[in-house]
Amino acid sequence: MQIIKSIESLRETLKPLQREGKTIGLVPTMGALHDGHGALIKESVKDCDVTVVSVFLNPIQFGRNEDLDKYPKRLEADANFAGSLGADYVFAPSVAEMYPDGDPLTMVRNETLECLYCGAYRSGHFRGVLTVVSKLFLISKADHAYFGEKDYQQVFLIEHMVKDLNFDIKIHRVPIVRDATGLALSSRNEYLTDDERKRALAISAGLKEAKDAYLAGEKGVSKLRDIVVKSIVLNRGQVQFVEIVNQHNLQKFSGVLKPTDKIVVLVAAFFGKTRLIDNIEFN
């Protein structure tokens, strides 16, 4: 395992491998790695000759009053974790390395979808994500990139960016990893108290209950949505949004669902001061 901190060094390291025909896998992260990230790394190691894990806490995807300053930072532990799973390189540039002139004037956007759901509450978040991910793709010239489905809207936007801008890279979605209780793994889970962690299980429990109701015949959008909302509220969580949307275009469903509809339920909720996201696909 080698930690690389400059763009030039990463390019010079990967160029001869690419000339040899080695396939490069990229796992973009903000650090504070856990078993959810581990699932991404394992997929890349399985598929690719070389795996690069980027660890970069990207300031341009954080808004005012968000948790940039307190986000967990532990590069050495992250590198050891990635290496133990077979990753070859950790790319850990500084903010000055990635943005030498300050916040970039050129940004990548999806004006249709970036303001929906998470984007409605985190102004500028997704243009920050798309911009840094596009930079990582161009810097690494990776053949494959791996993203977790917990960040459903994020991976959807990245897939469309790759298609719209003709990036020569294959995007792989990796299913959500949950702990033994059902809580979706997230670096932000570290912020939860023991009590908040127990109550936060209401998110995954509500999603499962809604899916069970759907499979039992309930097709009303408002009733399915209310199942998830009720689960969170009864456990003293604060719902930011619960939306039932189309997997193909992220547009909201309303009224009664058809059997052919491809459905995903997107959730964001607070337990204490910690914002958690989750989702579930119905079919």
pLDDT 10s digits, 1-49: 899 999 999 999 999 999 999 999 999 999 999 999 999 999 999 999 9
Domain 2-174 and domain 187-281, same fold? Reply is no
Dihedral angle, C-alpha 89, 14, 18, 33, nearest 10 °: 30
Superfamily of domain 187-281: Pantoate-beta-alanine ligase, C-terminal domain (3.30.1300.10)
The residue assigned the tokens 């998830």 is 228
- Helix crossing, 152-165 with 125-140: angle to 10°? 50
Mean pLDDT of 113-132: 96
Q: Measured between alpha carbons, how far is 52 from 131 in angstroms, rounded to an integer?
A: 19
Q: What sign does the dihedral 83-41-270-122 (CA atoms) show?
A: positive
Amino acid at 150: K
Mean pLDDT of 65-74: 86
> What does the domain layout of the chain look like in residue ranges?
2-174, 187-281
Mean pLDDT of 82-87: 98
What would the pLDDT profile of 232-262 be if each residue is shown by its tens digit?
999 999 999 999 999 999 999 999 999 999 9
Architecture of domain 2-174: 3-Layer(aba) Sandwich (3.40)
**Beta strands 263-271 and 274-281, pairing class:** antiparallel
pLDDT at residue 196, rounded to an integer:
98
Amino acid at 141: K
Burial status of residue 135 (CB atoms within 10 A of its CB: 0-12, 13-18, 19 or more):
buried
pTM of the model: 0.96
C-alpha dist (Å) from residue 73 to 63, 66, 93, 125: 18, 16, 13, 20
Q: Is 81 left (phi over 0), alpha (psi -120 to 50) or beta?
A: alpha
pLDDT at residue 64, rounded to an integer:
79
pLDDT at residue 70, rounded to an integer:
84
176 close to 266: Cβ distance less than 8 angstroms:
no
| Active centre residues (catalytic) | 37
- CA 143 to centroid of chain Cα atoms: 19
Q: Measured between alpha carbons, how far is 233 from 81 in angstroms, rounded to an integer?
A: 36
Task: Look at residue 65 and tell me whether its pLDDT is greater than 80.
Answer: no
Amino acid at 155: V
